[in-house]
Amino acid sequence: MDRITKAARLMIVSDLDHTMVDHHDHENMSLLRFNALWESNYRHDSLLVFSTGRSPILYKQLRKEKPMLTPDITILSVGTEITFGNSMLPDDGWVEILNQKWDRNIVTEETSKFPELTLQAETEQRPHKVSFYVDKTKAQVVMKDLSDCLKKRGLDVKIIYSGGMDLDILPQGAGKGQALAYLLKKFKTEGILPVNTLVCGDSGNDAELFSIPDVYGVMVSNAQEELLLWHAENAKGNPNIIHAKERCAAGIIEAIGHFNLGSNSSPRDVADFVECKVDHVNPGYEVVKFYLFYERWRRGEADNCETSIASLKASCDPSATIVFPSGAEKTLHECIHTMKERYGDQKGKQFRVWVDSVLSTPISSSKWLVKFDKWELSGNERCCCVTTAKINAKGSDASEGYTWMNVQQKWLEGYEMKDDSTWTF
């Protein structure tokens, strides 16, 4: 969070399963479209927050399965845990708040008296969350009776039913909405309240997010009945909440455009990068564009012509070098020449490239040090290079683009490439 020294231009707070992540989209295209948009337009001055019902264990598992970006903040376990950055540093202040009028042992004792409740996996049981499955036809009665029992025992709890089967018991002060309210209050106290906040969800445990004042909201097109019913009863006339026409991450992109929160043109949707404009010229756009062209070339989707190669060479200084994870060193122009021989070698295959956490530091008025994670998926193998690049602005304000001067890469631990003979950039 140290990188945010002023108010974020946009803060997106999104649920994961069936909102940011579409489990029916096996190519993950809507997610990859969002990734390219975020890293090229927003990462440098905005905040990405994932708000999920998943525990830390299942959240990390999802990140291994899907091409997800690294969020600035993660709200986990239905709003009972808040962590910061890739290291997932916990927010101790939030823990103190949740400890009030909460006793997990009493919750466990009372719920054992309800045969209708089936305890969820141990991974989903957290210090401030006890989770069950319950039949849809019995949920409302169980929730009322259980609430009365716990109140008699002196606890102040919240019971959330979502997904047509999940029942979570939390401290009254917990929940996705309260966690967001806590963060917004924290930002306001520090004088860095985001200019705009967009919340995104699909199920009942996301309803609280839409209740926070002064936020925009999008229910993705595939939103569940429980959330649509909540909206009809509580926020039907609110113009700041929409039901998107698009599914999942595509619906989030749709909402960015609907509310005029910034550019919603993902580089993945543009055939000619000259036509793709960004709100604020920044190195992130150059990085996304460079590697997206590389993916298209290997997939045989870019024009196989000298003009394309010449354009790529023009973005690299003739003396620019790349140091590979193995320690070998080549010029970028040599790599581009090698790439010519690999045109279409991944055509029709599951091959995708994306970048994550693109953050740039100016080292002069026209030079930047850019750090990012470069991911490459080929079939079932996923590898990642922690990459540092030096790039220069072509013009005085970078409006004419950038020139790559130097690239250094090292493998991210656990994601090394088994055979790096085809590693090009």
CATH number for the domain including 150?
3.90.1070.10
Give the whole-number percent of the chain exceeding pLDDT 70: 97
| pLDDT over 80 (residue 293) | yes
301 and 216 in a common domain: no
355 and 218 in a common domain: no
219 and 308 in a common domain: no
Q: Of 22-26, 212-216, 392-396, which gets the smallest average pLDDT? A: 392-396
Segment 314-327, tens digit of pLDDT? 899 999 999 999 99
| pLDDT over 70 (residue 152) | yes
Question: What average pLDDT does this structure show over 21-40?
Answer: 97
Which pLDDT score, from 0 to 100, does residue 128 have? Answer: 94
Which pLDDT score, from 0 to 100, does residue 304 have? Answer: 87
Buried/exposed 140-174: b ≥16 CB within 10 Å, e otherwise: eebbeebeebbeeeebebbbbbbbeebbbbbbebb
Which pLDDT score, from 0 to 100, does residue 281 have? Answer: 75
Beta bridge partners of 49: 13, 73
CATH number for the domain including 391?
3.10.450.50
- Is 1 contained in some domain? no
Q: Which contacts of 188-192 are long-range, i.e. CB under 8 A and separated by 24 or more positions?
A: 191/7, 192/4, 192/5, 192/6, 192/7, 192/8
Which pLDDT score, from 0 to 100, does residue 277 have? Answer: 60
Structure tokens at 363: 């080292």
Domains in the chain: how many in total? 3
140 and 51 in a common domain: no
Tell which of 208, 241, 268 closes a domain: 268
pLDDT band at 163 (very low <50, low <70, confident <90, very high): confident
Question: How many angstroms separate the Cα of 277 from the Cα of each of 84, 183, 196, 267, 272?
Answer: 31, 32, 21, 9, 11
- Is 141 contained in some domain? yes
Nearest partner of 167 among 40, 78, 230, judged by Cα: 78
| pLDDT over 90 (residue 19) | yes
309 and 251 in a common domain: no
- Is 2 contained in some domain? no
Structure tokens at 125: 């049981």
pLDDT band at 219 (very low <50, low <70, confident <90, very high): very high
Question: What average pLDDT does this structure show over 257-277?
Answer: 84
Question: What average pLDDT does this structure show over 17-40?
Answer: 97
Which pLDDT score, from 0 to 100, does residue 34 have? Answer: 98
Question: What average pLDDT does this structure show over 38-59?
Answer: 95
Tell which of 204, 238, 268 closes a domain: 268
Element (H, E) at 94: helix 92-98
Which pLDDT score, from 0 to 100, does residue 267 have? Answer: 93
Tell which of 268, 291, 310 closes a domain: 268
Domain membership of residue 113 as a residue range: 101-171
Segment 108-141, tens digit of pLDDT? 999 999 999 999 999 889 999 999 999 989 999 9
112 and 72 in a common domain: no
- Is 51 contained in some domain? yes
- Is 312 contained in some domain? yes
155 and 56 in a common domain: no
Q: List helix spans (H) across 244-387.
A: 248-258, 283-298, 306-314, 332-340
Which pLDDT score, from 0 to 100, does residue 4 have? Answer: 67
Segment 81-98, tens digit of pLDDT? 999 999 999 999 999 999
- Is 204 contained in some domain? yes
Q: Of 81-90, 244-253, 269-278, which gets the smallest average pLDDT? A: 269-278
Segment 346-399, tens digit of pLDDT? 999 999 999 999 999 999 989 999 999 999 999 889 999 999 999 999 877 777
Buried/exposed 106-131: b ≥16 CB within 10 Å, e otherwise: ebeebbeebebbeebeeebbbebbbb
Is the Cβ–Cβ distance between 376 and 382 less than 8 Å? yes
- Is 413 contained in some domain? yes
Average pLDDT, the chain: 92
240 and 106 in a common domain: no
| pLDDT over 70 (residue 275) | no
Question: For residues 235 and 111, what is the distance between their CA atoms, to the nearest angstrom?
Answer: 32
Element (H, E) at 84: strand 81-84
Question: What average pLDDT does this structure show over 402-413?
Answer: 96
Question: For residues 51 and 10, what is the distance between their CA atoms, to the nearest angstrom?
Answer: 16
Burial label for 19, CB within 10 Å (0-12, 13-18, 19+), is buried
Question: For residues 207 and 32, what is the distance between their CA atoms, to the nearest angstrom?
Answer: 26
